[in-house]
Amino acid sequence: MQIGVLHSLPLVIVLSACQSPPLPPGTHQEFVCSIGETQVCIRVDEYPGSDLVFINLHDDENTGVEAGLRLIQEKGGRLIQLEHDGNRLISFVSDANEFKFDPNRMFTDKGARRTLENEGEFSETAFHVVRQFADKVLSICRFNELGLIVTIHNNGNLGYSAESYTSGAIYETDALKVHLGPDADADDFFFVTELSTFNYLIDKGFGVVLQDNEKVTDDGSLSVLAGRRGIPYINVEAEEGHFQSQLKMLREVYALYGN
């Protein structure tokens, strides 16, 4: 099935069926998309026992994928991840120009425009292709059917962390509340959209950031889209290499939702 044919240029082609039945236990399915000459594999691993769905959007964040796979094999659930060239950004060529975008900045019109402009070249054709790819990812995730969105991300030491949302920091205006766990590494924290989840995780001793769903910057991220749609969202964020910490955090998500 072909999608995204703009100006007679087929930039995005889905090679495998996108409306698939539930996966059999302990197996995986791959949806291969071509964006220009760039191939992106949307991989879905599923095990019986839980309805939880985990999403990994950056191909250079591997600790979270390892922890997610460990947990769904143990407790059940689905893990959806993007695989391409091992980089954070996805690159593709159109009309002899190279475009790059962040796959966690493509879920709104403003975000898709901004990520293309920030990473280099921009064109209306490239913009529409990125937005169509975002819609395809949401379709495979069955986004509109989810009662909870859980993403898995990794960061680097001394970079992005829960402290990035504190007073005077770069993302201060995006957060309604911030709690730095007294015994937690600031790199290992939850980012959530609901106050009840925020309070629950504080009681468990974790660092937590509550998104301001009204004032958050529209950067096209999945948390922004979830906040707009009123779908509960949890990002399980940990420093790359902090496997045990991220595993503990993911276990808490299962505990919170009765799995």
DSSP collapsed to 3 states, the chain: CEEEEECCEEEEEECCCCCCCCCCCCEEEEEEEEECCEEEEEEEEEECCCCCEEEECCCCCHHHHHHHHHHHHHHCEEEEEEECCCCCCEEEEECCEEEEECCCCCCCHHHHHHHHHHHCCCCHHHHHHHHHHHHHHHHHHCHHHCCCEEEEEEECCCCCCHHHHCCCCCCHHHEEEEECCCCCCCCCEEEECCHHHHHHHHHCCCEEEEECCCCCCCCCCHHHHHHHHCCCEEEEEEECCCHHHHHHHHHHHHHHCCC
pLDDT for the residue numbered 7: 36
Q: Check residue 6 and give its pLDDT.
A: 36
| Mean pLDDT per 10-residue interval, the chain, length 259 residues | 37 46 74 91 95 97 97 96 96 93 98 97 95 96 94 93 97 98 91 98 97 97 97 97 98 89
